[in-house]
Structure 1
Amino acid sequence: MEKTGDPAAPLLPSPPPPPCYGVPASRIGDPYHEPPAYVLLPAYPVRRRRRGPCRCCGSFLSASSLFISSILIASAIFFLWPSDPDIQVARLRLDRLRVSPPPHAAIDVSLGLQIRVRNQDFFALDYRSLAVSIGYRGRPLGNVTSDGGHLRARGVSYVDAELELDGIQVLNDAFYLIEDLARGVLPLDAVTKVQGKLRLFFLEIPVQGRISCSVNVNPETQIIIRQDCYPEAPSP
């Protein structure tokens, strides 16, 4: 007869219970708490501004432009500003000379001149007259005036003038006249003056030129020994 006893032990041990992890209560948030709201903005590309020239470069360019403009204006004024005509004695001819000694103390002279007139400007010149005067030791003896003419820009013209003086009394200079006759040299002064108007666009600007010549003549042979001509500043 079989004996009853405790049930037989299982062959395999029973599995262990699942692990449990504890979380602190402070870390558990409110289940009803809403998450914070965020605003999303689109990303725009950043445009870099081009750097302009520095201030010092701009100032330098402005100063250079002003300097160049000043040079151009000054050059234009220099070339376009009207100047007096240039006159020279191209030829001086003594046709006749007769000197009466004291007590009459008179001079007869016939003189021919060829004057070269040059227009130095870039505009046409109309000269009204060409006047030639002759003197002895600073005392005027007589003068002659020729007709005017037209002279183109930067042009040259030749004008002839004939001067004849008969019986010009020089009583005040009788002493010097005797001395000059003894030396064989008679000093004469010839002054030539040109007056005209320069056409500058719609303006007419008065201009004039003047030249003086010292002429030494042999009263016996009537030959010009020496002549010196030099331009003079025109009188206002």
Structure 2
Amino acid sequence: MDIEKKEEKPLTTITTNQRKHKSRKCLCICISLTIGIILTIGIIILILALTVFKPKKPVTTVNSVAIKDLDASINLLPPRVSLNVSLDLNISIKNPNKVSVKYRNSSASILYKGDVVGDVPIPAGEIGSDTTKEMNLTLTVFADRLLTNMDVYGDVVKGELPISTYTRIVGKARILSLFNIRIVSVSTCDLDISITNRSVANQTCHYTNKA
């Protein structure tokens, strides 16, 4: 009786298939490890960005406002006021972030009843991490801008000139060299200038910060 022999696969074919299977398995493991590492790094970066490197609001504080120069005179006929005012404004900006903050060209202004009557530029700069930067600014009232407001005459006659200072700093913090966070810090101070005593009275400041 003839016994049918099973057809045997060549050894080379079996070896080739095993190698292909092993290569695919290794590739899948490598891809899984790579994805796992990327996800882990992403989670770590996210945790750091939300905790240690979470952007915090810088704080702009007006330390003092003092009169540097004051010259006022009144002409009764015709009614006319000559007024020159310069203020020394000392402010400090605290950066509570763990990274430095770069701020662009900004300005500080003097306002009289809502109208800008003087300003001074604040050049762009940088504040280091956990650092407070102090600035001394001189604000001068432009007399020609006051002449258009008829309320000035009455205030000078009373001997008290109500004005406001406004400072706005716009910058950005770069978190982990990946994200740029825009930061704005605003300070306003309402005060009265006593023309008789040549002093600043009733100073009230407000601070607004956002990130």
TM-score by length of 1: 0.60
* Distance in structure 2 (CA, Å) of the matches to 1:117 and 1:150: 11
2:107 pairs with one of 124, 131, 143:
131
AA partner of residue 154 (structure 2): E
Post-superposition shift, 1:78?
5.3
Distance 1:82 1:106, change over 3 A: farther
1:193 corresponds to:
168
Greater relative contact order (CA < 8 Å, ≥ 6 in sequence):
2
AA partner of residue 84 (structure 2): D
- RMSD between aligned alpha carbons? 2.6
AA partner of residue 190 (structure 2): S
Task: State the identity %.
Answer: 23
* Distance in structure 2 (CA, Å) of the matches to 1:104 and 1:82: 51
1:90 corresponds to:
63
Distance 1:99 1:79, change over 3 A: farther
Post-superposition shift, 1:143?
0.9
Higher share in helix: 2
Distance 1:137 1:192, change over 3 A: same
Post-superposition shift, 1:155?
1.2
Distance 1:230 1:136, change over 3 A: same
Structure 1 position 114 matched with structure 2 position 90: yes
- The answer on whether the counterparts of 2:80 and 2:153 sit within 8 Å (CA) in structure 1 is no
* Distance in structure 1 (CA, Å) of the matches to 2:100 and 2:88: 27
Q: Secondary structure at the match of 1:80?
A: coil
Q: Secondary structure at the match of 1:168?
A: helix
- The answer on whether the counterparts of 2:101 and 2:174 sit within 8 Å (CA) in structure 1 is yes
* Distance in structure 2 (CA, Å) of the matches to 1:199 and 1:151: 12
Runs (5+) with no aligned partner, structure 1: 1-72
* Distance in structure 2 (CA, Å) of the matches to 1:121 and 1:80: 7
Post-superposition shift, 1:220?
2.4
TM-score by length of 2: 0.67
* Distance in structure 1 (CA, Å) of the matches to 2:59 and 2:181: 16
Q: Secondary structure at the match of 1:179?
A: helix
1:227 corresponds to:
203
Corresponding pairs, count: 162
* Distance in structure 2 (CA, Å) of the matches to 1:79 and 1:179: 54
Deviation by residue 1:70-120 (Cα, 9 ceiling, x = unmatched)? xxx889625533233100011212111233547444532111111110012
Q: Secondary structure at the match of 2:98?
A: coil
* Distance in structure 2 (CA, Å) of the matches to 1:130 and 1:114: 15
